[in-house]
C-alpha cells in the first residue's frame, strides 16, 4: 500500500507545482521540457532499458504520437490548473480513464457488464457537475476548453500506452524510455524555436523547476508500476486506490490550501466521480470472476 500512497503523493505534487508555477512566473514549456530530461534519466537508471532491441519493427507511429501528445497535453494540464484549479483538473485527468474503457467497448469489442455502463454514466454526470458554475462570463466559459482537452488527451495517451504494452517482444520500460526521449526531443525543438524567435528566454530557474517536476512525474509512474507488481493478483485495488486517492487528496489540497471555490453542485460532482471509480472497479472485479 505504501507504493500507492507514494504514487498519489507524486501525482498531486505535480499538480501543486503547476499551480505554483503561475505565482513564481515559471515558463511552463521550459519546465515541461526539462521534466522529460529528468524522467528519461531516471527511467534509464531505474529500469535499465535495453535500447539495442528498439528496431524498425517497434511501434514507432505510437512512439511518435506519444512524443507529441505528452508535452502538448502537459501544457494543457498546466493551463487547466492555472485557470480552473487543482480540484477540477485532477478530476478531469482521473476520469479520462473512461476514454480507454470506451475504446475497449467500441474498438476492441470488449464485453461490458451493467455496472460498467452505470459507472460511465455516473462519471460523465460527475464531469458536468464538477465544472458547472451558477453564472459564467464568456472568458470563464472558455476555460472549459482546458479540462476537456486534458480529459480527452490523457484518455488517448492511456489507450496508446496500452497498445505499447501489447508488444510483448519489447519490455514496457524500454518503450517508456524511448517515449520520454522522443518527448524531450520534441519539447526541446519547440524551446529552440521560441528562443530563436525571441518568444522566450532560457532561465536556470525554469530548468531547475522542470527537473523537480520530472522527479515527481517519474515518481508517480515508478511507484504505480511497483504497486501493480506488489499487488499483481489484485490490480483493481491499485486502480481504485490510485484514482480515488488522487481525487480526494487533490480536492482537499485545492480547497484547503489554495482556497479554490466550489459550489454545492461541484461537491456533488466530486462525490459522483468517486462513485464512478468505485463502480468501474467493482465491474472489473466481476468481469474477472
pLDDT of residue 204: 93
Residue 135's pLDDT band (boundaries 50, 70, 90)?
low
Residue 23's pLDDT band (boundaries 50, 70, 90)?
confident
Residue-range definition of the domain harbouring residue 141 = 2-288
- Give the mean model confidence (pLDDT) for residues 228-254: 89
pLDDT of residue 65: 97
C-beta of residue 88 within 8 angstroms of C-beta of residue 147:
yes
The answer for 110, left when phi > 0, alpha when psi is -120 to 50, beta otherwise, is: beta
pLDDT above 60 (res 37): yes
- The number of folded domains in the chain is 1
As a whole number of angstroms, the distance between CA 54 and CA 50 comes to 8
Q: Could you identify the residue written with the cell 522529460?
A: 36
| Residues in CB range of 72: below 8 A, 6 or more apart | 153
Residue 239's pLDDT band (boundaries 50, 70, 90)?
confident
Chain centroid, CA 250 distance in Å: 13
As a whole number of angstroms, the distance between CA 114 and CA 188 comes to 46
pLDDT above 80 (res 136): no
234 vs 156, residue with greater confidence:
156
Q: Distance between the two ends of the chain, CA-based, in angstroms? A: 23
The answer for 196, left when phi > 0, alpha when psi is -120 to 50, beta otherwise, is: alpha
Residue 24's pLDDT band (boundaries 50, 70, 90)?
confident
pLDDT above 60 (res 266): yes
Please state the pTM of the whole predicted model: 0.91
* Residue 24 in grid coordinates: 513564481
pLDDT of residue 139: 54
| Torsion from C-alpha of 56, 58, 60, 63, nearest 10 degrees | -150
pLDDT above 80 (res 17): yes
Amino acid at each position: 500500500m505504501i507504493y500507492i500512497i507514494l504514487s498519489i503523493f507524486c501525482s498531486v505534487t505535480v499538480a501543486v507545482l503547476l499551480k505554483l508555477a503561475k505565482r513564481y512566473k515559471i515558463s511552463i514549456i521550459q519546465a515541461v521540457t526539462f521534466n522529460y530530461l529528468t524522467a528519461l534519466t531516471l527511467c534509464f537508471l531505474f529500469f535499465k532499458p535495453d535500447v539495442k532491441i528498439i528496431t524498425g519493427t517497434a511501434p514507432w507511429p505510437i512512439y511518435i504520437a506519444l512524443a507529441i501528445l505528452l508535452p502538448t497535453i502537459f501544457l494543457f494540464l498546466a493551463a487547466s490548473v492555472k485557470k480552473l484549479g487543482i480540484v477540477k483538473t485532477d478530476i478531469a485527468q482521473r476520469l479520462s480513464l473512461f476514454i480507454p474503457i470506451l475504446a475497449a467497448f467500441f474498438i476492441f469489442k470488449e464485453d461490458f457488464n451493467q455496472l460498467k455502463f452505470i459507472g460511465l454514466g455516473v462519471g460523465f454526470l460527475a464531469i458536468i457537475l464538477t465544472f458547472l458554475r451558477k453564472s459564467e462570463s464568456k472568458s470563464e466559459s472558455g476555460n472549459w476548453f482546458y479540462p476537456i482537452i486534458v480529459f480527452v488527451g490523457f484518455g488517448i495517451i492511456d489507450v496508446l500506452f496500452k497498445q505499447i504494452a501489447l508488444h510483448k517482444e519489447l519490455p514496457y520500460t524500454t518503450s517508456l524510455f524511448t517515449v520520454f526521449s522522443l518527448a524531450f526531443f520534441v519539447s526541446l525543438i519547440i524551446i529552440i524555436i521560441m528562443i530563436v524567435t525571441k518568444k522566450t528566454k532560457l532561465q536556470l530557474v525554469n530548468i531547475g523547476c522542470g527537473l523537480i517536476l520530472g522527479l515527481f512525474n517519474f515518481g508517480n509512474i515508478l511507484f504505480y508500476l511497483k504497486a501493480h507488481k506488489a499487488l499483481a493478483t489484485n490490480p483493481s485495488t491499485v486502480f481504485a486506490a490510485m484514482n480515488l486517492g488522487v481525487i480526494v487528496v487533490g480536492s482537499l489540497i485545492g480547497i484547503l490550501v489554495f482556497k479554490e471555490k466550489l459550489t454545492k453542485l461541484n461537491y456533488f460532482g466530486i462525490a459522483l466521480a468517486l462513485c464512478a471509480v468505485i463502480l468501474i472497479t467493482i465491474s472489473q472485479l466481476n468481469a474477472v470472476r
